[in-house]
């Protein structure tokens, strides 16, 4: 492998973490190559983002992503709409292979994100970003004095309810079982709210369809698992809190992952493999915010730059 045909950094992903890493590595004259894939990231599917710094009136998710990409391209980042299909560790470099080509690189920044699990019911995809959400922390403020439904029974669902309760006039949890799987302390908080009639809980029930007026969600169809009774519940928003799946398939058995598949990275975004860094939701199963993803993308880029400086100094 000659120096001439090897990239200094390849960034895998198309979300805000990837674009931020591309901005920083671009400004560092590293000529980053971004394999942004063909699937839209979560921000691109989000309507209004109100909690990203610098936008007092909010910003549309697709606009935020588009502008970040243009900014990275301004500093020399190259983008390819290709999806990484394999990752290989070589002697002193790495190879990322897509359906089109194999790209050798001295460093890799993984920003492939995590995919929110969905219900797989009619209307869910149609109204995603228009009433269907996977992040109450991101979208709760949009539901001031509105009605919201949360699906799930774990800690994430409990946290979604708490976030929504600050704004929505009515919050209902729909859970397929007869008891929650959340930690006891979180269950106690939510059950106490239900006892005070501050929220509602519908047990042993699943959502079978998301309904709307063509623009936004207006309700959900429900089915009781035990009685098989069907009903419809009016709501302005459906929040899915049934878990996320990190997009780390090609890194299994090559980079250290935690028990559910997230990349283990230190505070400097270093992974278990020297020269490989991770940013965004692919290594963050707790906060999952646009601003934290951007911040980790910045750190990963600076760490990659430092790594390249060190290996050059060692030669």
Residues belonging to the active site: 135, 138-139
DSSP states of 220-242: EEEEETTT--EEEEE-SEEEE-S
Q: Which two tokens stand for residue 254?
A: 């090559």
- C-alpha angle 291/126/223, rounded to 5°? 105
Q: Which two tokens stand for residue 217?
A: 């969600």
Q: State whether the Cα torsion 143-144-147-149 is positive or negative.
A: positive
Encode burial over 60-90: b for 16+ CB neighbours within 10 A, e otherwise. Answer: ebbebbeebbebbbebebebeebbbeebeee
Cross-strand bridge partners of residue 148: 171, 237
Q: 191 Cβ partners below 8 Å, 6+ apart?
A: 201
């Amino acid at each position: 492998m000659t120096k001439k045909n090897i990239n200094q950094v390849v960034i895998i992903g198309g979300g805000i973490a990837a674009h931020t890493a591309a901005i920083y590595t671009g400004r560092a004259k590293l000529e980053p190559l971004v394999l942004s894939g063909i699937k839209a990231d979560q921000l691109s599917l989000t309507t209004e983002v109100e909690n990203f710094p610098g936008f007092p009136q909010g910003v549309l998710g697709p606009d935020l992503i588009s502008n970040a990409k243009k900014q990275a391209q301004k500093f020399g980042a190259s983008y390819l709409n290709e999806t990484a299909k394999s990752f290989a560790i070589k002697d002193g470099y790495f190879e990322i292979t897509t359906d089109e080509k194999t790209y050798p690189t001295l460093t890799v920044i993984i920003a492939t994100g995590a995919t929110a699990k969905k219900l797989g019911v009619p209307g869910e995809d149609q109204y995603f970003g228009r009433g269907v959400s996977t992040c109450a922390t991101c979208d709760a403020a949009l539901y001031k004095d509105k009605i919201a439904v949360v699906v799930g029974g774990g800690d994430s669902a409990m946290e979604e309810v708490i976030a929504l309760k600050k704004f929505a006039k009515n919050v209902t949890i729909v859970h397929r079982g007869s008891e929650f799987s959340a930690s006891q302390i979180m269950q106690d908080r939510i059950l106490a709210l239900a006892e005070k009639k501050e929220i509602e809980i519908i047990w042993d029930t699943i959502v079978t369809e998301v309904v709307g007026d063509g623009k936004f969600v207006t309700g959900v169809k429900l089915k009781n698992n035990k009685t098989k009774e069907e009903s419809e519940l009016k709501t302005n928003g459906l929040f899915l809190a049934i878990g996320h799946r990190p997009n780390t398939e090609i890194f299994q058995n090559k980079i250290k992952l935690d028990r559910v598949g997230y990349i283990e990275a230190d505070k400097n975004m270093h992974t278990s493999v020297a020269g490989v860094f991770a940013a965004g939701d692919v290594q963050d199963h707790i906060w999952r915010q646009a601003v934290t993803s951007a911040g980790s993308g910045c750190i990963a880029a600076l760490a990659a730059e430092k790594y390249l400086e060190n290996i050059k100094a060692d030669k």
